[in-house]
Every structure is written in C-alpha cells, then in structure tokens.
Amino acid sequence: MQNDWPYRWDLLLRYRLIEIIALWEGRLTTNHLTESFGIGRQQASKDINTYISDIAPGNLMYDKTLKGYVPSESFKPCVTTGLADEYLHVLSRNQDITKPFEGLGLANANTEVLGVPHRAVDPIILRSIVLAARQGKRLDIGYLSLSNPKSADRIIAPHTLVFTGLRWHVRAYCEKNQNFRDFVLSRFRGTPDLMGKTLVEPSEDKAWQTQVTIQIIPDTRLTPDQRKVIAHDYGMKNNSLKITTRGSLVMYVLQTLNIDSNKLEMNPLAQQLMIKNQSEIMKWLNW
C-alpha cells in the first residue's frame, strides 16, 4: 500500500471496501456501499466506476449472470493488503480505526499498536465458507489438524466466523464427528465443493447457544493491596468481574485473559487472576 493518497479519506475507505468485498466474497454490488456508508445508489455506482477506471484498471469485471462485479484473473490489491484479516474485520465490524486509517499518512506520534501474525487464508476457501454459512449449505473440504497433519476430507455445515483475538475460526457441524466444532481457517486445504442444504440448524449447537458467565477475581494469594491493583486494572466491582460469553467461547476468553484453568503458577504474580466459579465452567472447556 502507498502512504500518500490523492483521495479524500472517505473515498479511500469506500475504495478499500470495494476491493475487500470483490476479493473475498467474489461479487460486489452497489448495495455493499449504500448499506455500509449510507450513500445513494448513484454515488455508489460512481465510486465503483472510479475504482475501475482510475484506481485499479482491470481489477473488476461486470458479470451479467451474477448481476455484480467480480475480480478478474489479473486482480491485484491496490488500496488494501489483500490479507483475509481485512475482510474478516469488516465482517466483525471491528472498531479499531488504526486499520482503515493506516494508509492515510496521519500523524500517529507516541502510539504503537502490536499486531498478531497474519495467518494465510485462501480467498476461494473463505468465499465458499461464507457462502455456505449464509445459504445454510454443506461444504466438502480438506482440513489439517494437529492430530491428523495430513489433509483429510471433511463435510461441514458452517454457521459463524469467530475471531478470538489471536486467530479466526469457523464454527461448523462436522458430519465425520457428528458434532459442532471449531475449524481454524488457515488449516483448510484444496478446492471446496459446495453441496446441498444442511439438515442441522445452528440452533442445535448447544455450546454456541448457551450463555455462560465466568466470574474472575484477583488471585487470592496476592496481598490485599495487590488485589486492589488487579481489581482496578480490570474494572472489577467488589473484587469480581463477570464475563458472559457463549459456552463454545469460554476457552478463548480464558486464553485472552492468560488464565490456565488446569494449573496455578507457583508465583501468583504470573497469572494474577483466578476463576471463582471454575467448577461451573469446566464442562465448557472441551466444546
């Protein structure tokens, strides 16, 4: 990406969305712009035409059958990095403005934001997963796991993309294991085959549908003054913080807080936090 853009920031954001949607969904319409930015259809059409003529000639083609713009075989990102994270953050409506504004050359002194390593995700695979989830269809696709590092075919019915803070995965029903599981996006392989409608509904995913409250407290082995510091850090009330999440996400919440539910470090300063209602949430750690 360049640093000095000859475009207004609002236009640049719209050009970026054009590029992201076209690349990762495989079909762009004026609706994407009108619904995201609250602009009229005429302005959206003008933005798309300007992108095609001035920003990235040859990147998009109009498909009469799909009634939308699709990426050409020579598509090359011009105003984005071409990484899956950009599309995934658009889906999650991420509020971190450093991403959309990082290419504008704005002064950002005295600030540094650490980023996690990007995981490689094939656009074709991600498009298929999103399409299957939206249409309630099954997907035949290769997948690697630590227990089986060689690609094996799986038939899954995806329903939700999830960002844990460190990685993206898709929550899906696995026909091989006959249950709902998390599949890391970067571990899919091969060309996915979109199949017919699934007979399993997301409402049947018990761990996803169940709300679980995790009660976090300062490590009781800390001194009273140390516990006050930790309580203030996390905005606790009466030395307690209640976090409500989905059953299938409990493990990821604990990982984000750097809490290992299976052990307590010898030094209480290492972990600093404890789970007060650990017996209640243990059953959700293997979902």
**Domain residues of the chain, as ranges?**
9-104, 123-204, 210-284
What is the pLDDT, as a whole number, of residue 264? Answer: 55
Residue 287, both tokens: 């979902």
Q: What is the pLDDT of residues 4-25, one digit of tens each?
A: 556 688 888 999 999 999 999 8
Residues for the chain: how many in total? Answer: 287
What is the pLDDT, as a whole number, of residue 122? Answer: 86
- DSSP-assigned letter for residue 202: G
- Strands 168-174, 211-218: pairing is unpaired
Q: What is the pTM of this model?
A: 0.73
Which CATH code fits 123-204? Answer: 2.30.30
Query: Which runs of E-coded beta strand occur in the chain?
Result: 60-63, 68-71, 137-143, 152-163, 168-174, 179-184, 188-197, 211-218, 241-246, 273-275
Q: How far apart are CA 146 and CA 187, in angstroms?
A: 10
What is the pLDDT, as a whole number, of residue 149? Answer: 81
Architecture of domain 9-104: Orthogonal Bundle (1.10)
What is the pLDDT, as a whole number, of residue 148? Answer: 80
What DSSP string runs through 162-189?
EE-SS-EEEEEEETTTTEEEEEEGGGEE
Q: How far apart are CA 193 and CA 196, in angstroms?
A: 10
- DSSP-assigned letter for residue 117: P
- Among residues 208, 209, 211, 216, which one has the least CA distance to residue 278? 216
What is the pLDDT, as a whole number, of residue 124? Answer: 87
Using 50 as the pLDDT threshold, list the residues of the chain that sit under it: 1-3, 94-108
Q: What is the pLDDT of residues 213-229, one digit of tens each?
A: 999 999 998 999 999 99
What is the pLDDT, as a whole number, of residue 84? Answer: 85
Query: For tokens 């999103």, what's the residue?
Result: 130
